[in-house]
Structure 1
Amino acid sequence: MLPSHPSPSAAPFEAPALIATRGISSLLTPDGELLDIPSDEIAAMLAALPPPLLLHGPATIRRVDLAPPAPPAPWFDLLELFLFLYPTAGVAPTPRGMALALGLTPPAKLEADFLHVLLNVLTERLKDAAPTREGEKMRALLPPLARAGWAWAQYVAELIGPPAATDLHPYEALRVWRRLPKWEETAPRPPPGHQPVSPAAARARLSELLGPNAESRAGQADFASVATAAFAPRETFGAPEIVLAEAGTGTGKTLGYVAPASVWAERNQGAVWISTYTRHLQRQIEQELHRLHPDDEARRRAVVVRKGRENYLCLLNMEDAVNTAASRGDQAGPSVIALAMLARWSESTNDGDLMGGDLPGWFGELFGAGTVFGVADRRGECIHGACPHYQRCFVEHTIRRARDADLVIANHALVMSQAAWAALTNDEVPEEDATPTRYVFDEGHHVPDAADSAFSTALSGLEAAELRRWLLGAEGSRSRARGLRRRLEDLVAGVPSLETPLDAVLHAARALPAPGWFGRLHGGNDAPQAEASDLIANPSEVFLTRLNQQLQARQTGKSRAASTECDLHPIDDTVAEAADSLARALRRLVEPLEILVKRLKAQLSEETEAIDAAMRARLEATIRTLRRRAISRAEGWISMLEATQTLPEPGTTPLHVDFIRSEPITSRGRHAGEHDVGLYRHWLDPTVPFASVMQAPAHGMLITSATLRDQTGNEVDEDSHENAWDAAEARLGATHFPKPALRAALMSPFDYAKQTRAYVVTDVPRDDLDALAAAYRALFLASHGGALGLFTAISRLRAVHQRISRPLEQAGLPLYAQHVDAMDNATLVDIFRTEIDSCLLGTDAMRDGVDVPGQALRLVAFERTPWPRPDILHRERRLHLSHGAPKEYDDRLARMRLRQAFGRLVRKADDRGVFVMLDRRMPSRLFSAFPDGVEVRRLGLNEATREIGEFLQLPPLSEQK
């Protein structure tokens, strides 16, 4: 156990300095002795020393197997000091990463004394900041930080000076909502023009973006030319211009479509929405746009990143957190430190994005993930115009900036939900965003996945209980959930026409699961059949119980912590009865909600002159929220429940797939020991609703990816290529649009036969975790790190990590892992990119959309063939969408995933990389997933590791060391 918090007089230069690994740790003692110590001995030494100077405290103490101390952290963590000085700067949370962020050249071997080098630089820069406005902001935060026990407080005060004397509350510096700038309404932007972009103009813009010394990329200019077709004037309403462009890895497709998109936006004074599937790519595209707008202010005006509201700092939640901390006094130390750091960040952030924006992804690990989630609107509680901070709200700022931007970098989910909502409401109430007309869907192969998520419906215990909480409020808990009455009290008070339907809504909401429903649900599995009166008492809880009983009766095998599911039909009579009762209860909820919305709309139209702009915005936001948050959700549930009464017609192709599923409830990524249960509905073909909602607003769409088509290796003639494109169009939904899509394929410029190798290892037993871990260890040692291990199951990832982390780090190869390290994926990738000999374990999110050029990634190892998950949804799609070839349908999905994984290897012309499959049962027919010229060889592990070392031109690790 580490010692308690240092005394106020302790200085970081007097503390021991520590760089820890699970092998040999480097320790600089207070006497100046630099020691290399086995990590199993370091804990005993630290117990006798003052709290150390280190970098990334939580990760450091995990590596030496110490239990985390009670917060606040007693050590001097350089990450905390860096964050205080540079609250929005990106830094990989390692000594090498911080050195690079500070403009230093790190030594080849990093030892503990290098932490003093970093501290010296931060010290000097803190002194330089002291007389500036930033220094003034930092000084204002020192009183609450010192009071909370922040280890750096006195040291920083000595460098930048104490805060000015004031009569303000000590926590005043945390109340950033009083100081942030306000947005102001501007005139609506006129509709965009329809001037086309010529291929010559696109190529010229691309040349400007690349500059005279850029690396030439074959096909990039051709890609820019092809993309211009998506910006041609639309000829027929409901028939957008669609371009499907497959651009091989290394083509440079981002700037390839940014070129025509930026020209179109300038000429037509309209916005192009660039949509991605992952946060990784959103951030990468934003960074690429520095080429288009080198000036920060110009880029801020022209480029906006958009995400869902739940990703941003909510100032009302921040206010509640600060007030709670103030009321707790000295007991609030840890939360005050986190809030002070958030306050520092919030006055510097570009857009207030907590999740994948400029708040460091390691923030939650240092200060508590609960703080970050607590200040975001994760439960849809936004009260819009009724919020006292509405005009300072980060989300509202971003929405208004997007209205006048040239390029909006969004994600597929947001684009689809907005288009769906515009189609549903028919723009009766002005929407938050002007509906764009031009779209670029990067990571286009994920359009079906995003549509599946966006247009599915779930009636689960969690979803229904969440709606109750949104309508009725916290019902006795400490949550700030205000409930609908509290949010609307200034609108409905003293207005009987509004109070009456509101009362009816709140009464009907009690049919949704009440607090404590988890216990009643699981206690009901073995309970006697509910009486008919129970159906009236709480129809949603009875329905959930009946679903759970049918699921338990029909599940196969033993119940595990993983999710389980069963078909809805043939439906149990008790489920059908409970569904009918719940449907009636939900109608009793929807009817007064509709009346409330109708009467709020009447106020907008009947009292036009009496309503000021702020109240109009408040009413519009309220109507929108009621529809989105409650009415549309309840109507979707009613539709599902009504469908339970109708048996599917034998031999017909259904529109939807309905099934029952139980899923583990997770808390910060871990099972909380409870399972939710619900009724789920997915579209059989989710691109049908995607096409439906995009036909009207879209004038042009570019769908691009390196893997739009499935390559089977049989494309030997024109018909084969045509068939591959036909399958791609069907999968992406292009066949549902009236106008045929323009097809284009641009080959990768890389020589894969020369730059890569691929192996299937034949002697790793399939279900032997020890053997699997030994194989990963051998491969990672053979490549000297720079390795990405991909898994199809989180449980196996964690098991392998547990077995190989220590031996790898003893060999000097740091190991990081998704679902193990408490950092977001972007931060893990930043570390992986920075620490070129590190290794990273991950799942799907690491397989797709991760760009790690150069030597930092030289080996990709896949633990199993990535077959599609054999669940009910896949079964039905395989049956109805495979055109009579279900095995080929499975193969196609697996090949696409393999292509994505292989595509991580080579990102530059001089990259070299190796792909390894550890599943000896992978069939040879899937080898066509790899580029032409790549020979896939089946070898034993020992022979494969030897060839890997030879191909990568690496000596044995022992010789290198």
Structure 2
Amino acid sequence: MSMKYVVVDLETTGNAAKGGIDKIIEFAAVVIENGEIQEVLSTFVNPGKSIPPFISELTGIYDEMVSRAPSFADIAPMIADLLENAYFVAHNVHFDWGFLREEFMQAGQPVPHCPVIDTVELARILLPTAESYKLSDLAKQFQLQHDNPHRADSDAMVTGELFLLLCEKLQSLPFVTLCSLHELSRGFQTDLEQLISFYILHKEQTPYEQHYDIQHGIALKKYVSPKSFYKESISFSAYLAQVNANLQVEMQGFERRTGQMLMMQKVHEAFIEERVCLIEAGTGTGKTLAYLIPALFHAVQEEEPVLVSTQTVQLQQQILDKEIPLLEKILPFSFKVAVMKGRKHYLCLHKFEHALLEEDKNYDSLLTKAKILVWLLQTETGDVDELNLPSGGRFLWERICNTGPSSMRWENRCFYKRAQHQVYFADLVITNHAFLFHDTYKEDALLKSYPRVILDEAHHIEEAASQALGEKFSCLQFQATLSRIGTLETEGALTRVSKRLETISPLFKEINDWLKEIKFESDELFRMLRAFLFEKQGNIDTVRLIQAYDAQIEKGKLWRAIREAVNRLSHSIDKIMKIYTVEEPLSVVYEDLQSALMALEKQCEILKRLLTQKLDGVTWMEADVKGTLHSTILYHQPADVRDVLAQRFFTNRKSVILTSATMTVKGNFDYMMHALGLSSFLPMTLCVPSPFSYQNQVSLMIPTDLPHVNEVSFEAYTAAMVTHIIEIAATVQGRILVLCTSYDMQKRLYTEVKDSETLPQFAVLNANAGSRSRVVKNFQQFEKAILFGTSSLWEGVDIPLDCLIMVRLPFAPPNDPVMRRKGQALREAGENPFSALSLPQAIIRFKQGFGRLIRKESDRGLFFVLDRRIATKSYGKDFLASLPELAVYEKSLQELLCSIKK
């Protein structure tokens, strides 16, 4: 590496560089030449002003440390010399370069001219699967010593070492990938084009790469055929003994858990006896290994594959990344695993190849293409869940993902086909509930031949089955499809086709006119749907509107106008589909337009059904009160899926294991068996308690000085909640998760606690401010933080907590359309909807929320329930009885807080 790179990091008094509002307080530089660190420079800088306390707290730099330091004007000539004929490199370079430029101008010095490289941008391209691109996270990933984060010398050294690693990565890329990256780099934010050019010149002198497949100018990781393996017969007891011995070797401090062993035996027994089995396994049981170990024994010994389904794609990935590598080490035989997801999770190489050839000026799109080029050198699956996409990258993915049969050009490298092929030869297939139940209802179901199934997070099965049988129309998704098609005046599939034709034919002018009509008609329809929602709901102070409706019964001028509008919209789309023809062999550019038009047609068919036809089950619409006209979503779901589940799913399997940490109500499985229609299958059951000592690890606090939730206004109740949350946080001084049962409550509590400014040392976070994983990662970075969340944080989140606050018992909202229909059916059958439905569901939800607090034996925490009903209502004891034995304190808040301080 013959070029000179100066890696810089600055500490400043704040973020406002413009006009010299904030100043540099520390400068550090690492000089790199010939691929090695040659020089390290560091100095404090006197900013000529006081350093704000929070900056001193963050950096450890105080006024007395910089009082005798040189001013920036004193060191400006030295920095200018340093940067001469060099690349300026920094992590988030725009911040550091912007500050330096401003300081040079403020000092009356000429600003050096040099190309800049951002290690954030470079890392995003070369490390496409990294979870985070923060310097501290990358340092941890590469085991770089980072002793003093937020100090310029430490940050500059780590950035320099990271840059060298990224350059090694760049050097290792195949020639064709480097050339493709070079084409894209003209649209990057920093001067990576010159850096990539250097490595292309270097690459031309090296032998051609042999360990990649090069097809149509794209380099891919070579497929490696799975190894054949030898299997010998072994008894289950001998197998378990061997597995436990291996676990003790592989897992430091491993101890056999009685509950885990019981669960393994039960799963094995259910497989042998061909039974349905319900297993509740408390937190800390080791539930995943407890079902995978017997499942793989059966699959390999009996040569009969086992299907495992999880609630989310993330849990699918967790099993693959965490449990499977461990099992490969501890099991006495080899096994094959396959993962199956919906088509759109997989990259279509044919579409991606064409996307690379397009003229593209969108930064997120260019960055996504670059990331995929590098990712293709390492991925075996082509599954988007491996990628860390930029926010705008999802729009490109919608265009380049697999939506149908692969082209002949790339048929031998189709990722979706490969996933299907692996399913046929796997011992263990891992899927998710959404894919499983959508597949179950198909005639050509891929997974119907698996006689033994394990359903993890089984308390979601009813909901997943209902959603798979139902339909959903999103106004925003319809708008996105229209944008994907575009018009002749805007970027989109239609424009790309017309560019290919080089002339705009009358056919495309006609399609263009109809598309404009569809845009106008759909916007009018979506406005009317919002108006209908507001008309039905009245002037309610809420965040989200939810309204059930019956398309055949609704009357009035507005509803007639809605029906007429959807018919006009359908007519316009029919016109386009009739006049659209392909005048040449179907190329990628035509495929993109055709698939987008077909998606539009399909969405319109769903919309027409939901707004004009009589449907069994429940139909409803939702929208954010302050959302755009495209925020409305229409739903249709069956209210009862028991018969369908029995006929299409359970009857066709030899054995089904349903497991979760929350399946029992009042100590039995009656509610779950009834909800899933399992009573006639006479299922086996097992309840495995958590191994944690909750009496020593958790204190349940019930403040007595709170108003009853149903006896005061929403405003009075939230005001009391805010006061209690602030006082609890001031005492706990740690990480606090506040679980809310509605968006209205969450928004109000978050806003008022944040605006109160009574907890300046706390980070106050809103779970709706980004993806769940990003919010959780942000929350974990603070020692003192309060996170307000709703449904997404009640389960499946593993966060070290000091305190959990539940503001209300988690009963379903009274306007939940599906719950109302179920309640109506129960009343008609002579049952009590509260005791038969609302209470059991709330108890299961309550247990899920409680499960966030203690995740391992060393955890200690406080559990505050700010809903007096748990102590004053007769059903309150049912909630308390659902928890493991723990200490319960019911006193005024001040008395509770005093007991904590002791």
TM surpasses 0.5: yes
Could you tell me which residue of structure 1 aligns to residue 737 of structure 2? 788
Contact 1:787 1:840 in 2 (8 A): yes
| Structure 2 unaligned blocks of 5 or more | 17-21, 29-41, 59-65, 67-71, 80-87, 99-114, 206-211, 499-506, 578-585, 587-594, 708-713
**618, 637, 643: which is aligned to 1:657?**
618
Could you tell me which residue of structure 2 aligns to residue 953 of structure 1? none
Query: Is 1:410 paired with 2:431?
Result: yes
Could you tell me which residue of structure 1 aligns to residue 127 of structure 2? 86
**304, 310, 315: which is aligned to 2:338?**
304
Look up the SS of the partner of 2:864 in the other structure.
Answer: strand
- Indicate how the Cα distance of structure 1 residues 794 and 27 shifts in structure 2: closer, same or farther if over 3 A, else same: farther
Look up the SS of the partner of 1:28 in the other structure.
Answer: strand
Shift of 1:915: 1.4
Could you tell me which residue of structure 2 aligns to residue 11 of structure 1? 6
Contact 2:283 2:851 in 1 (8 A): yes
Look up the SS of the partner of 2:256 in the other structure.
Answer: coil
Hey, what's the Cα distance between the residues in 2 that align with 1:448 and 1:83? 40
Hey, what's the Cα distance between the residues in 2 that align with 1:17 and 1:388? 54
Contact 1:898 1:929 in 2 (8 A): no
Could you tell me which residue of structure 2 aligns to residue 395 of structure 1? 416
Once the two structures are superposed, the pairs formed by residues 240-251 of structure 1 within 5 Å of their partners are 241-251=275-285
Contact 1:142 1:163 in 2 (8 A): no
Contact 2:738 2:788 in 1 (8 A): yes
**25, 28, 33: which is aligned to 2:26?**
28
Shift of 1:563: 2.3
Could you tell me which residue of structure 2 aligns to residue 912 of structure 1? 860
Could you tell me which residue of structure 2 aligns to residue 676 of structure 1? 632
Identity %: 21
What CA deviation, in whole Å up to 9, does each residue of 1:278-323 have, x standing for no partner?
3442233221211112599x99x82333332333444455445544
- Indicate how the Cα distance of structure 1 residues 662 and 931 shifts in structure 2: closer, same or farther if over 3 A, else same: closer
Could you tell me which residue of structure 2 aligns to residue 884 of structure 1? 831
Look up the SS of the partner of 1:347 in the other structure.
Answer: coil
Contact 2:177 2:218 in 1 (8 A): no
- Indicate how the Cα distance of structure 1 residues 522 and 156 shifts in structure 2: closer, same or farther if over 3 A, else same: closer
Shift of 1:130: 6.3
Hey, what's the Cα distance between the residues in 2 that align with 1:465 and 1:397? 33
What CA deviation, in whole Å up to 9, does each residue of 1:769-828 have, x standing for no partner?
6764554444345444333232333455455555656999986655554221x4x32344
Shift of 1:914: 1.6
- Indicate how the Cα distance of structure 1 residues 229 and 566 shifts in structure 2: closer, same or farther if over 3 A, else same: same
Could you tell me which residue of structure 2 aligns to residue 931 of structure 1? 883
**259, 265, 287: which is aligned to 1:225?**
265
Query: Is 1:125 paired with 2:137?
Result: no
Could you tell me which residue of structure 2 aligns to residue 442 of structure 1? 456
Q: AA paired with 2:824?
A: L
- Indicate how the Cα distance of structure 1 residues 262 and 905 shifts in structure 2: closer, same or farther if over 3 A, else same: same
Hey, what's the Cα distance between the residues in 2 that align with 1:307 and 1:102? 31
Contact 2:135 2:159 in 1 (8 A): no
- Indicate how the Cα distance of structure 1 residues 154 and 12 shifts in structure 2: closer, same or farther if over 3 A, else same: farther
Shift of 1:152: 6.8
Q: AA paired with 1:643?
A: K
Hey, what's the Cα distance between the residues in 2 that align with 1:83 and 1:18? 28
Query: Is 1:517 paired with 2:518?
Result: no
Shift of 1:905: 1.6
Look up the SS of the partner of 1:787 in the other structure.
Answer: strand
Shift of 1:155: 9.6
Look up the SS of the partner of 1:750 in the other structure.
Answer: coil
Moved more, 557-566 or 799-808: 799-808
Contact 2:740 2:790 in 1 (8 A): yes
Give the aligned length: 783
Hey, what's the Cα distance between the residues in 2 that align with 1:56 and 1:764? 51
Hey, what's the Cα distance between the residues in 1 that align with 2:786 and 2:200? 43
Q: AA paired with 2:618?
A: V
Could you tell me which residue of structure 2 aligns to residue 359 of structure 1? 387
Hey, what's the Cα distance between the residues in 1 that align with 2:216 and 2:12? 38
Contact 2:739 2:789 in 1 (8 A): yes
What CA deviation, in whole Å up to 9, does each residue of 1:237-277 have, x standing for no partner?
xxxx3110111111111000000111122124343222111
Once the two structures are superposed, the pairs formed by residues 708-727 of structure 1 within 5 Å of their partners are 708-711=663-666, 721=667, 724-727=668-671
Hey, what's the Cα distance between the residues in 1 that align with 2:795 and 2:203? 51
Once the two structures are superposed, the pairs formed by residues 850-869 of structure 1 within 5 Å of their partners are 850-852=797-799, 856-869=800-813
Q: AA paired with 1:359?
A: L
Could you tell me which residue of structure 2 aligns to residue 572 of structure 1? 555
Q: AA paired with 1:282?
A: Q
Q: AA paired with 1:792?
A: T
Calculate the TM-score normalised by the size of structure 1: 0.68
Once the two structures are superposed, the pairs formed by residues 226-625 of structure 1 within 5 Å of their partners are 226-232=266-272, 234=274, 241-286=275-320, 287-294=322-329, 302-315=336-349, 318-319=352-353, 321-324=355-358, 326=359, 328=361, 332=362, 335-354=365-384, 357-360=385-388, 363-364=389-390, 369-370=391-392, 372-377=393-398, 382-386=403-407, 388-421=409-442, 425=443, 427=444, 435-458=449-472, 476=488, 478=490, 480=492, 514-521=518-525, 525=528, 551=533, 553-558=535-540, 562-568=544-550, 570-572=553-555
What CA deviation, in whole Å up to 9, does each residue of 1:840-877 have, x standing for no partner?
4432222212234xxx3232222333220222322121
Hey, what's the Cα distance between the residues in 2 that align with 1:290 and 1:95? 28
Contact 2:340 2:429 in 1 (8 A): yes
What CA deviation, in whole Å up to 9, does each residue of 1:706-739 have, x standing for no partner?
111123xxxxxxxxx5xx322220123323xx53
Q: AA paired with 1:725?
A: F
Hey, what's the Cα distance between the residues in 2 that align with 1:912 and 1:26? 42
Could you tell me which residue of structure 2 aligns to residue 756 of structure 1? 698
- Indicate how the Cα distance of structure 1 residues 901 and 558 shifts in structure 2: closer, same or farther if over 3 A, else same: closer
Could you tell me which residue of structure 1 aligns to residue 248 of structure 2? 211
Shift of 1:565: 1.0
Moved more, 283-292 or 211-220: 211-220
Hey, what's the Cα distance between the residues in 2 that align with 1:165 and 1:335? 28
Hey, what's the Cα distance between the residues in 1 that align with 2:277 and 2:271? 10
Look up the SS of the partner of 2:539 in the other structure.
Answer: coil
Could you tell me which residue of structure 1 aligns to residue 791 of structure 2? 844
Could you tell me which residue of structure 2 aligns to residue 716 of structure 1? none
What CA deviation, in whole Å up to 9, does each residue of 1:188-242 have, x standing for no partner?
x9xxx9x9997536634652663345133231011001012442375xxxxxx31
Hey, what's the Cα distance between the residues in 1 that align with 2:301 and 2:669? 33
Look up the SS of the partner of 1:445 in the other structure.
Answer: helix
Contact 1:17 1:112 in 2 (8 A): no
Q: AA paired with 1:931?
A: L
Once the two structures are superposed, the pairs formed by residues 668-817 of structure 1 within 5 Å of their partners are 671-676=627-632, 678=634, 680-695=635-650, 697-711=652-666, 721=667, 724-735=668-679, 738-763=680-705, 767=715, 772-773=721-722, 775-794=724-743, 796-798=745-747, 800-801=749-750, 814=763, 816-817=765-766
Shift of 1:745: 0.9
- Indicate how the Cα distance of structure 1 residues 639 and 196 shifts in structure 2: closer, same or farther if over 3 A, else same: farther
| Structure 1 unaligned blocks of 5 or more | 1-7, 62-73, 167-172, 235-240, 487-502, 526-544, 594-614, 616-623, 645-654, 712-720, 951-961
Larger Rg, first or second structure (1 or 2): 2
Contact 2:236 2:297 in 1 (8 A): no
Shift of 1:936: 3.4
Once the two structures are superposed, the pairs formed by residues 161-240 of structure 1 within 5 Å of their partners are 164=203, 178-181=217-220, 200=237, 203-204=240-241, 206-207=243-244, 210-212=247-249, 213-232=253-272, 234=274
Hey, what's the Cα distance between the residues in 2 that align with 1:635 and 1:245? 38
Q: AA paired with 2:843?
A: R
Moved more, 336-345 or 405-414: 336-345
Hey, what's the Cα distance between the residues in 2 that align with 1:631 and 1:186? 39
Q: Which has the higher contact order (CA 8 A, sep 6+)?
A: 1
Hey, what's the Cα distance between the residues in 1 that align with 2:777 and 2:806? 21
Contact 2:486 2:494 in 1 (8 A): yes
Look up the SS of the partner of 2:669 in the other structure.
Answer: helix
